[in-house]
Chains A and B, each alone.
Chain A
Amino acid sequence: MPSEFQFTFEGKPVAAREGQSVAAALIAAGERCLRVDEAGNAKGVVCGIGFCWECRCSIDGVPDIRACMTPARPGMIVRRQRGLDGCSDR
């Protein structure tokens, strides 16, 4: 794995370093809203260690993946999960 690479978030390129989580790379890129919940509330990273599940997003088409617990990989496609939409492709 290259030590510096990119993945995309909502179609936009995001820079990451090897060993960083998706959440950390997104925060470094200035992104705060990682999900819009069923009630329409914007949600971001809260606990940073995996227990709150608030930062879950869609990664490479799989919904409900915690951004804070997932290492970033080159070319990864990360999308903001909206309500239950992320579940429609399961």
Chain B
Amino acid sequence: MQRSIVIIGAGPAGMAAAIEAVRRGCRVTVIDEGPRPGGQIYRQPHPALHGEDFAEPSELARKHRLIDGFQAVIDRIDYRAEANVYAVFPNGEIHLAQGDRTEVLRPDAMIIATGVREQAIPFPGWTIPGVMFAGGAQSILKAQRVLPGRNVVVAGCGPLPRVVAAQILRAGGSVAALASLRSLRAMLRYPRSLWCGRDILREGLRYEWTVLRARVPQFTGYVPVRAIGGERLEAVALARIDAEGRIVSGSEREIACDLLAINYGFVANSELAAMTGAEMRRDPVIGGWVAVTDAFGRTSVPGVFVAGDSAGLRGALVAECDGTIVGAAAAVPSTAVDGAALKTNLAATMARRTRHLEFQQAVRATLRLPDGIWRIVTDDTLVCRCENVRFGEIREALESGHRSLNAIKRNVRSGMGWCGGRTCLHAIASLAEAATGQAPAEMMTPRPMARPVPFAAIARQKRAAAE
């Protein structure tokens, strides 16, 4: 009988997994939140929305090659756009909401390819309208063809803020300041990585050139410590922080802007993997809690696979290789995964993945946060935006001995709001680690609903006939 595979997410990993599983004769369902395939990095604008792309041509070529490959097999896929998985269970059940109804699927295998979201370090005033995630600002530019701000400050660490600054400039915006926690020179300590990632590096240098040519004021070692404004952002205060994360007195400077775009790396969308009961581990640099996986994306739960960034930040090129490998592994009975045939079959893709992964060593060096950075979160800083919980309340909960994210939530409500903790929980884990010397042992228990779903949609539930 034909093997059934459900893939959650249609970014690089999900699309590549689908292509491979279809090629191997599986019955494939792809569930994706977006209206069109691509995920975040390969996000596609609406076809009627013509305009210029401000990305590098080689980047766009990669994107279109993969999307075209996916489109070529889409007729053989049960492709669910604008659908949300709100629960998965250890028995392999997948509950999804689409439109005004819900549905339960029970495939032979599931591939979780849910990617990452951006990480923030909260600071006073970061709730003021006009403070955005840098990738969010980029999505307004690349998928909506709208300049997210006219006079922009971009801040954070790693490559993304620099790319976003360049793209805003190319789109005709002005960048009032580019603040980087670390210099990208940290990458130079990894020459082998840089050699393996030379194609991506070339794209990065072109973005750097855009920023240099525009003479953007650059502040290395600076972070935003205060946003200023009421109903809209008017300015941001940048300050230099020392190795311990303390603000260097006298270094603060205010810069007028209408958009502050921040990114301090990424957090894995690993809630669904955790819901299956898969064994998890925490590594803040690659996204916080991630499922423990082997080379084939297998988790500790039979039939549950994770591919791409949601298994730990690795970038689009690795994610695409991952998708092919995990798609192949999910397509065969579990006993065949360890066999020599599959390994031989995937040898070239595995070698390519190793090479792209090598470049990630250099990227990760730019994403490592200094331990003291969490000091910029003052007692009156709102940490949980949904429930308006200030750091002072969280600190008091920690001091009274509540050390798990579950206990902190029960006491101060952080993580209980609309976003389900997606915006703040990883920051709270790091804040707890900075305050007590020990990170919480576990993520906040992810439970249904992973996304808000109307009761009416639950009432209209369709269940697949038992197979």
What residues make up the interface of A, taking CB atoms closer than 8 Å to B? Answer: 3, 17-21, 23-25, 27-28, 32-34, 37-39, 41-54, 56, 64, 68, 71
Whether B146 and A32, one on each chain, are in contact in the complex, defined by CB atoms closer than 8 angstroms, is no
Whole-angstrom distance between the alpha carbons of A61 and B137 in the complex?
28
Within 8 A of A (CB), among B32-51: 33, 35, 40, 45-49
Task: Find the A residue at minimum CB distance from B136.
Answer: A48
**Is B317 part of the binding interface, using a Cβ–Cβ cutoff of 8 Å?**
no
Q: Interface size class for chain B?
A: 35 or more
Q: A23 is contacted by which of B138, B140, B422 (Cβ under 8 Å)?
A: B140
What residues make up the interface of B, taking CB atoms closer than 8 Å to A? Answer: 33, 35, 40, 45-49, 117-118, 127-133, 135-140, 144-148, 230-233, 258, 382, 385-386, 388, 417-419, 422-423, 452
From known contacts A18-B48, A19-B49, A23-B140, infer whether A51 and B129 are also in contact, taking CB-CB under 8 Å. Answer: no
Q: Which residues of A contact B418 (CB under 8 A)?
A: 53, 56, 64
Whether B127 and A41, one on each chain, are in contact in the complex, defined by CB atoms closer than 8 angstroms, is yes
* Distance of A6 from chain B, by nearest CB (Å): 16
Whole-angstrom distance between the alpha carbons of A68 and B45 in the complex?
13
* 23 pairs of residues in contact across A and B, judged by CB atoms under 8 Å: A17-B49, A18-B49, A19-B49, A23-B140, A23-B144, A24-B146, A27-B148, A34-B129, A42-B232, A43-B385, A44-B129, A44-B130, A44-B132, A45-B136, A46-B133, A47-B118, A47-B132, A48-B138, A48-B140, A48-B148, A51-B422, A52-B422, A53-B419
* Distance of B113 from chain A, by nearest CB (Å): 16
Q: B131 is contacted by which of A28, A46, A53 (Cβ under 8 Å)?
A: A46
Q: A33 is contacted by which of B48, B117, B129 (Cβ under 8 Å)?
A: B129
Whether A43 and B232, one on each chain, are in contact in the complex, defined by CB atoms closer than 8 angstroms, is no
Whole-angstrom distance between the alpha carbons of A27 and B139 in the complex?
13
Q: Which residues of A contact B48 (CB under 8 A)?
A: 3, 17-19
Whether A49 and B130, one on each chain, are in contact in the complex, defined by CB atoms closer than 8 angstroms, is no
Q: A52 is contacted by which of B128, B148, B423 (Cβ under 8 Å)?
A: B423
Q: Which residues of B contact A18 (CB under 8 A)?
A: 46, 48-49
Whole-angstrom distance between the alpha carbons of A51 and B127 in the complex?
15
Whole-angstrom distance between the alpha carbons of A56 and B147 in the complex?
21
Whole-angstrom distance between the alpha carbons of A61 and B385 in the complex?
24
Q: Which residues of B contact A51 (CB under 8 A)?
A: 117, 419, 422-423
Q: B140 is contacted by which of A24, A39, A43 (Cβ under 8 Å)?
A: A24
Q: Which residues of A contact B136 (CB under 8 A)?
A: 45-49, 68
Task: Find the B residue at minimum CB distance from A1.
Answer: B48
Q: A48 is contacted by which of B46, B132, B232 (Cβ under 8 Å)?
A: B132
Q: Which residues of B contact A28 (CB under 8 A)?
A: 146-147
